[in-house]
Amino acid sequence: KNQVEQSPQSLIILEGKNCTLQCNYTVSPFSNLRWYKQDTGRGPVSLTIMTFSENTKSNGRYTATLDADTKQSSLHITASQLSDSASYICVAPREGGSYIPTFGRGTSLIVHP
């Protein structure tokens, strides 16, 4: 069974600071990896999708990186805002071909003013 492990479990930062969230996965062969943002009490929303050929992808203040050799991904948030307070979830496919996702437990980010 493919595994997705995220760290840290939770993180508190001050508004305006940067932070980096980590994700390790085991799926092989690898097709793509996604990051989702989930606000409290709401459904997750897609932030980025990265294929095996991509090393980095940005979406505004969010930048995701991927190292397919070490099977690690990171999500970097620049100049954090209060609205960034949420859970950030890393998702990898369970198997190649038909896409069945495996969700990490998420990193809970709190941004304080």
In the complex, which residues of this chain contact other proteins (CB under 8 A)? Answer: 4, 32, 34, 36, 41-46, 49, 89, 91, 98-106
Shortest distance, position 108 Cβ to other proteins, whole Å: 9
Shortest distance, position 12 Cβ to other proteins, whole Å: 17
Q: Which is nearer to other proteins, 15 or 39 (CB)?
A: 39
How big is the chain, counted in residues?
113
Q: Which is nearer to other proteins, 91 or 111 (CB)?
A: 91
- Do the Cβ atoms of 86 and 12 come closer than 8 Å? no
Shortest distance, position 110 Cβ to other proteins, whole Å: 15
SS3 75: strand
| Dihedral class, residue 37 (left if φ above 0, else alpha if ψ from -120 to 50, else beta) | beta
Shortest distance, position 90 Cβ to other proteins, whole Å: 9
Separation of alpha carbons 62 and 58, rounded Å: 6
Q: Which is nearer to other proteins, 86 or 91 (CB)?
A: 91
- Do the Cβ atoms of 111 and 88 come closer than 8 Å? no
